């Protein structure tokens, strides 16, 4: 069974009207919601985070910043936001020290991450080995796998990482169709994210209504869970 994480993001950035969108969809019955560490000012993220926490939903922050200074800043922001989950980033030793006194569940990226929007590079064996090493770290709750940002055999990659890391895996990035939801769910990931595809009207027969888009993804996530 795979859960669905709705990301208030487009092209790896938090959308500018994130608060307005959240207010439109907060009544829907889903558990997980998140956003990126870039795209809008910190003050808006804090406002959004408070609204999400008050709604009873669990909050994810995904780090896509590439340099160390920004990743450190984002980890500190995660504490201010009181997020439930901190995803992404690659500097495990540094970030784990920052969040060690919190209850934040940490899911860094396995493999080599380049560019923005983020792309996953390396062979399946290299990425799997990275996943195994990260999952052996007591500070790591799970892994944020950029499955469809990988140019090789995506299904083999997911299967390998899920089987050999033995921690919760989130399949993140570029899940934009019923078929991809079906695939990642069948391969045993703990959760998958959808963000850009909703704002690009990939679901609900192209409806421009974000509520209908989200309802369609929720329906599909239950269909294949």
36 contacts 12 by C-beta, under 8 angstroms: yes
How far, in whole angstroms, is CA 204 from its chain's centroid?
22
Whole-number pLDDT of residue 66? 86
- CA angle 38-121-104, nearest 5°? 45
Q: Name the one residue in this structure whose structure tokens are 């780090």.
A: 63
Residue pair 3/33 in contact by the 8 Å Cβ criterion: no
Q: What is the C-alpha radius of gyration for the chain, rounded to an integer number of angstroms?
A: 16
DSSP character at residue 20: H
Domain CATH code at residue 149: 3.20.20.70
CA geometry: angle at 64 spanning 150 and 146, to 5°?
Answer: 20
Q: What is the pLDDT of residue 35?
A: 98
Residue 116: predicted pLDDT: 86
Determine the pLDDT at residue 225: 83
Task: Give SS3 for 85.
Answer: strand
Give residue for tokens 């970030």. Answer: 95
Which residue in 147, 199, 196 sits closest to 169, CA to CA? 147
Contact between 161 and 131 under an 8 Å Cβ cutoff? The reply is yes
What's the number of domains the chain is made of?
A: 1
pLDDT of 201: 97
What are the Cα distances from residue 21, in Å, to 17, 80, 119, 202? 6, 22, 27, 17
Q: What is the extent of the structural domain holding 120? A: 3-223
Residue spans of the chain under pLDDT 50 = none
Residue 5: asked if its preceding bond is cis (omega within 30°), the reply is: no
**Which residues, 6+ apart, have CB-to-CB distance to 213 below 8 Å?**
198, 199, 201, 202, 203, 204, 207
Predicted local confidence at residue 1, as pLDDT: 76
């Amino acid at each position: 069974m795979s859960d669905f994480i709705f990301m208030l993001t487009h092209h790896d950035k938090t959308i500018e009207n994130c608060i307005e969108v959240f207010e439109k969809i907060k009544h829907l019955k889903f558990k997980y919601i998140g956003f990126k560490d870039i795209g809008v000012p910190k003050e808006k993220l804090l406002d959004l985070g408070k609204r999400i926490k008050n709604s009873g939903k669990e909050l994810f922050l995904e780090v896509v910043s590439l340099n160390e200074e920004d990743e450190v800043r984002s980890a500190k922001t995660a504490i201010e936001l009181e997020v439930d989950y901190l995803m992404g980033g690659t500097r495990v030793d540094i970030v784990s020290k920052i969040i060690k006194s919190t209850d934040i569940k940490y899911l860094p990226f396995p493999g080599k991450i380049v560019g923005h929007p983020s792309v996953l590079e390396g062979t399946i064996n290299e990425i799997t080995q990275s996943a195994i090493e990260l999952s052996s770290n007591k500070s790591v709750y799970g892994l944020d796998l950029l499955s469809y940002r990988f140019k090789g055999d995506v299904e083999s990659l997911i299967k390998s990482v899920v089987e050999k890391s033995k921690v919760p895996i989130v399949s993140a990035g570029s899940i934009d169709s019923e078929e991809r939801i079906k695939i990642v769910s069948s391969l045993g990931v703990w959760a998958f994210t959808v963000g850009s595809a909703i704002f690009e009207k990939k679901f609900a027969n192209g409806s421009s209504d974000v509520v209908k888009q989200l309802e369609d993804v929720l329906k599909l996530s239950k269909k294949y869970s």
